[in-house]
Amino acid sequence: MTTTATTNRPRRSAFRRREAIEGYLFASPFIIGFLVFIAFPMAWSFVLMFQKYNHLSPPAFVGMRNLQEMFSDPKTWQSLWATVYYAFVSVPLQLALAFGCAVLLNMPIRGRSLYRTFLYLPVIVPIVVSAFIWQRAYNPEFGIINEVTGWFGIPPQNWLFDPVLVMPAFIFMRIWVMGTQMVIFLAGLQNVPTSLLEAAALDGAGPWRKFWSVTIPIMTPVIFFNFVVGIIGNFQVFAPALIMTKGGPQDATLFMVLSIYRNAFEYSKIGYAAALSWLLFLVIIVLTFFQFRLSGRWVYYESDDRE
């Protein structure tokens, strides 16, 4: 028996080694893609953060000069504030609208599939096409937005040319692209146990009480997921501002990614743009960390044992 065990041990070792090789081969497309398209660009941008590079001459080491310029530039904080304001206002409104539509479309209403399709359509419209459509809708002379507000006695507004109104216009434009969040909410609502709803009904709970005390707590993990992903996605807003306002008026829509693009490809300040990129990355990491830290206060999982 000792001889058999000794003989089988190299076979098992060879089998495990072959399994490991096969696993790495199957995972190699992802590994190569991650190294080439994510890890290497991040490492190179970190190196460029300490270089002066303008596409024409070789990179020259300048130490902390790019970081000093970034922190002393008021446009850095203006673009960061515009991005934070846009993300933390548009995402809650977008999630509220998506959740409300999901609740309604989870009911047995007539034409439910058709309504779901119509509400999901804005997601599949290309960003460039959507930006041109909204730019025309916000036109102060013949835009449909001013026409609708005129029904309520509101005079025409220069939505995309007024520093005060341009951000609400962008937020209103963003909240309608909520099809993805709506579908995720629908999937979560269909997993709410009917036994809990029936038990709450037996205890005398009405529709609102069941929704607030049963449905909402069970849906908090889904709400949390959509919120985190939405904040990360909205921090990377770029195309609408580039197409519709080019960062104006008065840099009111100069979001961080648009500022990075301008410095890199319009001003040829690659090192400075790399520093801005890492600032945006660190801000997203910090905000995501705090969201996870605070999630324990309001996100409830089935395995939680809370009293």
DSSP string, 96-133: HHHHHHHHHHTS--TTHHHHHHHHHHHHHS-HHHHHHH
Write the pLDDT tens digit of every residue in 156-188.
Answer: 999 999 999 999 999 999 998 999 999 999 999
Look up tokens 């398209």; give the residue. Answer: 37
User: Rounded to an integer, what distance in angstroms lies between the CA atom of residue 164 and that of residue 248?
Assistant: 11
Measured at the alpha carbon of residue 174, what is the angle toward residues 295 and 78, in degrees to the nearest 5? 80
**Arithmetic mean of pLDDT over the chain:** 90
Are 202 and 214 contacting, i.e. CB atoms less than 8 angstroms apart? Answer: no
In the chain, pLDDT over 70 holds for what percent of residues? 95
pLDDT of 130 over the 80 cut: yes
Q: Where are the domains of the chain?
A: 2-48, 69-295
pLDDT at 303: 60
User: Rounded to an integer, what distance in angstroms lies between the CA atom of residue 249 and that of residue 56?
Assistant: 31
Residues 6+ apart with CB under 8 A from 140: 146, 156, 157, 158, 159, 161
Are 160 and 214 contacting, i.e. CB atoms less than 8 angstroms apart? Answer: no
pLDDT at 7: 58
pLDDT at 258: 96
Whole-model pTM over 0.85? yes
The CATH number of the domain covering residues in 69-295:
1.10.3720.10
Write the pLDDT tens digit of every residue in 202-247.
Answer: 888 888 888 888 899 999 999 999 999 999 999 999 999 999 999 9
pLDDT of 307 over the 90 cut: no
Structure-token pair, residue 65: 């000069």
Are 235 and 283 contacting, i.e. CB atoms less than 8 angstroms apart? Answer: yes
Residue range 27-35: average pLDDT? 93
pLDDT at 305: 52
Residue range 243-257: average pLDDT? 93
Residue range 264-268: average pLDDT? 92
CA–CA distances in Å: residue 229 to residues 181, 188, 234, 287: 10, 16, 9, 12
3-state secondary structure of 269: coil
pLDDT at 96: 95
Structure-token pair, residue 115: 């309504």
pLDDT of 6 over the 80 cut: no
pLDDT at 2: 53
